Copies of this chain bind each other. A is one copy, B any other.
Amino acid sequence: MEETLFRQELQKRTAAIEELLKGYLPAEEGYQKTVIEAMNYSLMAGGKRLRPMLMQETYKMFGGDGDIIEPFMVAIEMIHTYSLVHDDLPAMDNDEYRRGRKTTWSVYGDGMGVLAGDGLLNYAFETAFRAFPACTSGEPVDPNYPRVAAALNILARKAGIYGMIGGQNADIEAEEQAEPLTTEQILFIHANKTAALIQSAMTIGATLAGATDEEIAALELCAYNVGIAFQIQDDILDVIGDSKELGKATGSDAQNHKQTYVTLHGLEESGREVERLTGEAVAILDSFSGEHEFLKELLLHLVHRTK
């Protein structure tokens, strides 16, 4: 796909997801108004909406064409958002700004930052439950029930202690650790803090479209590769990137004596690893017969970005 065309398609899809999210925002009213305002402020902070986009594209690749995917697209973005809100807290990274915009706690206060994150995580599940088919007693049970149940299992598992929260725990401990990190530790952090939600997005899309267990397992590996490649690329850019283009300071990892895949394996080997992981991810995608041209471009774009 030609670069300009890809960017147009990306913008179009991001805009459509923004509209979808807006339709799912809880109303800012009642005695719970402030926490809802803080939740919506956090959720509407912009971004490319990559996780819902990956979910939707994977759903379409496997022939999905219903709206059962929508509550899950919104839910995964709420989970991603809550993790940023809590990460930014004074008790965690103590960040007052994120992408040039005040973070939730620095607008609404410390306690409300905790509560807004909790609200988003809880509301993510409330929202995902909207995918349950309606069923009144006496009616036969809709065969979509098991698919929704399987998708919910993925959503919770990949966000929790065996996914994102597990990665966050390892990351916090790595920062306090005196001895050098191992490659295993670094890969654990990337696999769980970053790749888990990409896996969640892609495998939920496939599950709701009725993909087989084998297809889902292959996608899980594909998404793992993308997540790890993305993070190694991040570390590479920290060393070689142009700070103006990147929009943030480079060389910060070295300054902070932060150990990364690049400090352990060097730039050259790291670059080769990004290529290997990406090649494998693309090969997996290409093994599926469903249409996935945009999805493939999106994965390549993620991994090969220069900023």
Q: How many copies does the complex hold?
A: 2
Q: A35 to chain B: which residues have CB within 8 Å? A: 161, 165-166, 168-169
Judge whether A161 and B121 touch: CB under 8 Å: no
Please tell me which one of the listed residues B114, B123, B137, B162 contacts residue A91 in the complex, with CB atoms under 8 A apart: B114
Contacts A118-B121, A142-B141, A149-B145 given: A111-B91 contact, CB under 8 Å? Answer: yes
Identify the interface centre among A113, A146, A153: most chain B CB within 10 Å of its CB: A146
Shortest A91–chain B CB gap in Å is: 4
Contacting residues of chain A (281-306) with chain B, CB-CB under 8 angstroms: none
**How many angstroms between the C-alpha atoms of A35 and B165 in the bound complex?**
8
**How many angstroms between the C-alpha atoms of A118 and B123 in the bound complex?**
13
Contacts A119-B160, A119-B165 given: A111-B92 contact, CB under 8 Å? Answer: yes
Does A129 sit at the interface, judged by CB under 8 A? yes
7 smallest CB-CB distances across A and B, nearest first, come from A32-B166, A91-B110, A141-B141, A35-B169, A145-B145, A31-B170, A135-B146
**How many angstroms between the C-alpha atoms of A125 and B156 in the bound complex?**
7
Judge whether B149 and A32 touch: CB under 8 Å: no
Does A112 sit at the interface, judged by CB under 8 A? yes
Chain A at the B interface: SS class: helix
Q: A118 to chain B: which residues have CB within 8 Å? A: 82, 86, 117-118, 121, 165
Q: A82 to chain B: which residues have CB within 8 Å? A: 118
Interface residues in chain A, defined as those with a beta carbon under 8 Å from any beta carbon in chain B: 26, 30-36, 39, 82, 86, 89-92, 110-115, 117-119, 121-123, 125-126, 129, 132, 135, 137, 140-143, 145-146, 148-149, 152-153, 156-157, 159-162, 165-166, 168-170, 172-173, 185, 188-189, 192
Judge whether B129 and A152 touch: CB under 8 Å: yes
Please tell me which one of the listed residues B92, B122, B126 contacts residue A114 in the complex, with CB atoms under 8 A apart: B92
